[in-house]
Structures are given as C-alpha cells and as structure tokens.
C-alpha cells in the first residue's frame, strides 16, 4: 500500500482559518498497530448539522477512527480535518471545537454532577461569567437539574450517560463525537438519550458523529457508513441502503433447504442465502410473491416470513454475515498489549 502524506495541504497552515463547508473531511486515512491495520484508506465527508453514523461489528475500526478524529490517536497516514483543522498538525484547535462521549464513563463519581461540569468549564476555558448559567442549562436539558448536588456514584447508568452528554456539550462544540453512546443501557434509556441528542442538535445546531452496532440506533442518522474489517464498504442514507436490497426480505424454511435453494436459483432467478436454518432472499412485492410461490412449490414448507429490509439485512448482503461481536476478542488483546506499552486502545 502506498503511503499517504500526513501533512496538511499546502494551502492550509496552522495560522489560517479552517476550511468552510465541511464539518469533517477524511482522505485515505490509515491507522496501523504494528502489522495490524485497524483502519485502511478511509475516505468520507460529514456535513455541518448532520447526524452521521458508523455502523459495524466490534473490531471493524469504528472506535479507532473516532479516536483519530478526536486526536487521541495519531494517524499512520492520510488526512483528517475536523472543523477545518488538521488532527495531526493542529490537535489543540480540534479539541477546542469538539465534544466527546466515549463508551467508558470518564466522570469523577466522588464529586457531584455540578462539580463535574464546573471542572469541565475550567478545562475548556468557558468564561467565568457564563459558567453557572451554562451548567444549569445543560442539566435542565438532560433532566438532571434536580440531582445536580448528588455525587455521581449515586447515579444510575442512564443518568451518568446523560451527564456525559451534558458535559460534552458544555463548551458549545461544533462537533459532538459519540462512540457507542448507549452501549449496555436498556432500550427505554437509550431512546430517552436519543431524544436529548436530537433536541440538542436542533437547539445548538451541532454536528453529531456516532458509532454503533445497534440497528435501531443507526436509524437516527442522516447518513450511515458501514464498516467491516477496517474498510468503509457502503455509505448512504438508511432508506437508500435498505432500498438497495431491491425489495422485501423473505425467510423460508423447507423440508430440504438445499434442494429449495437450487429451485429458487433455477426457476425464479433468486440468490438465496442459508442463514440459521432458513433460506433468506429478497424479492419485490414479497406479499404477492410468496402466495404465488407456495401455490406451486414442490417441497414441503415449514415456515415463511416476509419483512421489510433492515440495516442488518444490508450488512448481511454486503458481508455475508450479521453484525455481531466477532472482532471483540482480537481487539481486546490489542488493547491489552497497548496498555502494557503505555499506548492507547483501538
């Protein structure tokens, strides 16, 4: 693989204004850990005010990408601009303009919610004259104003996540990064947090960049990039990605799936895929196709199901498998090795 220069374009220096028009610009971004390539020649743009998401299994390279964009990992090669600033050449300017909410909690649970936010204000140089009002506003926005004086260790997981969101927005970032923002939370809490995120987007006009392996969470995005094995394999709106499958999803179980698959290929020009004991394929107008199929099908049918396509169906079509935590084991080993060397995780 040809190396890509890490330097910013000649037209941009550290003293020049950021580029106008894109919240995030990534070109041929690469991150390697020894011989392991976590992100491989990644290119994409994020528009201002957009909710942009990366969907994929653990180990696909999502978190590594977000850490490079947040300046927590230095790219091996390639170019990444956030709010017009180069993540490698001007990391301080990048950090000033972003908010970050990672998978793991980073709050100090020995102090109160208000004290956590006040400390954040000091770090990000929020003017002293507006700190109290800003803290009150954020706590009210995430529904924690009445619990501001409690120590964070008394909070539930959902309350901690909401406080993380409030802290991430306290200094009015132009871009909010959310790395698996609701992992481990119950569905109701996840839904509540997304209601807060959408409200903040409307009120603050921020750009949101998030990673997830939850299908319902990915539906909140204006556009989705699907990552697998360090590569970006698809990028479009959720509706367009699902429409690209070409119809409804049919799951058929018969007395002989192998013979049924041959029949579907030969007589109906379909491409069935064996999946957990059933045959899965896509057809237009599935509610009309299935009755016609069953009226003439020569094999005994055990079950049949017709559904609208989901993002998991999209991932299955693109990769041949469903999203699952198949990459987590290797990634955990990598993180352990990096910690022992004093590095950062992928």
Question: What would the pLDDT profile of 231-253 be if each residue is shown by its tens digit?
Answer: 999 999 999 999 888 889 999 99
* Cβ proximity of 65 and 232 under 8 Å: no
- What pLDDT was estimated at residue 205? 85
User: 328 by DSSP, 3-state: which?
Assistant: helix
User: 23 by DSSP, 3-state: which?
Assistant: coil
> What's the CATH number for 241-319?
3.30.70
User: 100 by DSSP, 3-state: which?
Assistant: strand
CB atoms within 10 A of CB 87: 28
The alpha carbon of 96 is separated from its chain's Cα centroid by a whole number of angstroms, namely 22
- What pLDDT was estimated at residue 324? 55
pLDDT tens-digit readout, 260-280: 999 999 999 999 989 889 999
Going by DSSP bridges, is the β-strand pair 273-275/278-283 parallel, antiparallel, or unpaired? antiparallel
For residue 76, what are the β-bridge partners? none
- Non-local CB neighbours of 89 within 8 Å, separated by 6+ positions: 7, 8, 14
Q: Give the helix/strand (H/E) hosting 150.
A: none
pTM over 0.85: no
Q: How many CA atoms lie within 13 A of 38 on its CB side?
A: 28
* Cβ proximity of 163 and 142 under 8 Å: yes
- Non-local CB neighbours of 73 within 8 Å, separated by 6+ positions: 31, 64, 67, 344, 346
* Cβ proximity of 313 and 246 under 8 Å: no
Angle between helix 128-141 and 187-204 (nearest 10): 140
Three-class SS string for 214-260? Answer: CHHHHCCCCEEEEEECCEEEEEECHHHHHHCCCCEEEEEEECCHHHH
Q: Which residue has the higher pLDDT, 331 or 66?
A: 66
pLDDT tens-digit readout, 19-55: 558 999 999 999 999 999 999 999 999 999 999 999 8
pLDDT tens-digit readout, 199-239: 878 887 889 999 888 888 888 899 999 999 999 999 999 99
Mean pLDDT for 130-150 is 92
- Non-local CB neighbours of 259 within 8 Å, separated by 6+ positions: 299
The alpha carbon of 342 is separated from its chain's Cα centroid by a whole number of angstroms, namely 26
For residue 29, what are the β-bridge partners? 42
For residue 45, what are the β-bridge partners? 25
* Eight-state DSSP code of residue 19: P
The whole-angstrom separation of Cα 149 and Cα 113 is: 6
* Eight-state DSSP code of residue 125: T
Model confidence at 325: pLDDT above 50: no
Angle between helix 128-141 and 113-123 (nearest 10): 130
Q: Give the helix/strand (H/E) hosting 335.
A: helix 328-340
CA distances (Å), origin 257, targets 199, 228, 253, 273, 302: 48, 29, 7, 10, 10
Q: What percent of the chain has pLDDT over 70?
A: 87
CA distances (Å), origin 224, targets 77, 133, 211: 24, 35, 9
Ranges of each domain in the chain: 24-236, 241-319
| Superfamily in which the 24-236 domain is placed by CATH | P-loop containing nucleotide triphosphate hydrolases (3.40.50.300)
The residue among 61, 19, 17, 22 whose CA lies nearest residue 45 is 22
């Amino acid at each position: 693989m040809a190396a890509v220069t890490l330097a910013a374009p000649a037209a941009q220096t550290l003293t020049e204004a950021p580029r106008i028009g894109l919240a995030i610009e990534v070109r041929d971004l690469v991150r390697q850990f020894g011989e392991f390539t976590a992100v491989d020649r990644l290119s994409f743009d994020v528009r201002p005010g957009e909710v942009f998401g990366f969907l994929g299994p653990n180990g696909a390279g999502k978190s590594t990408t977000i850490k490079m964009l947040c300046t927590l990992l230095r790219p091996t090669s390639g170019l990444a601009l956030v709010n017009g600033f180069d993540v490698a050449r001007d990391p301080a300017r990048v950090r000033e303009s972003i908010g970050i909410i990672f998978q793991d909690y980073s709050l100090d649970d020995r102090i109160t919610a208000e004290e956590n936010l006040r400390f954040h204000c000091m770090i990000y140089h929020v003017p002293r004259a507006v700190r109290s009002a800003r803290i009150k506003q954020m706590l009210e926005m995430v529904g924690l104003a009445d619990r501001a004086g409690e120590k964070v260790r008394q909070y539930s997981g959902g309350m901690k996540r909401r406080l993380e969101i409030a802290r991430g927005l306290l200094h009015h970032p132009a871009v909010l990064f959310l790395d698996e923002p609701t992992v481990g939370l119950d569905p109701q809490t996840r839904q509540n947090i997304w209601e807060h995120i959408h409200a903040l987007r409307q009120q603050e006009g921020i750009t949101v960049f998030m990673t997830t392996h939850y299908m319902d969470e990915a539906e909140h995005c204006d556009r989705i990039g699907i990552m697998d094995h360090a590569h970006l394999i698809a990028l479009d709106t959720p509706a367009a990605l699902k429409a690209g499958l070409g119809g409804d999803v049919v799951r058929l179980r018969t007395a002989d799936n192998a013979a049924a698959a041959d029949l579907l290929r030969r007589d109906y020009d379909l491409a069935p895929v064996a999946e957990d004991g059933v045959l899965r394929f896509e057809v237009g107008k599935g509610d009309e196709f299935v009755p016609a199929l069953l009226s003439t099908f020569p094999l005994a049918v055990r079950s049949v199901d017709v559904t609208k396509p989901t993002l998991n169906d999209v991932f299955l079509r693109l990769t041949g498998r469903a999203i699952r935590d198949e990459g987590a084991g290797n990634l955990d080993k990598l993180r352990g090795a990096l910690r022992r060397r004093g590095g950062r995780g992928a």
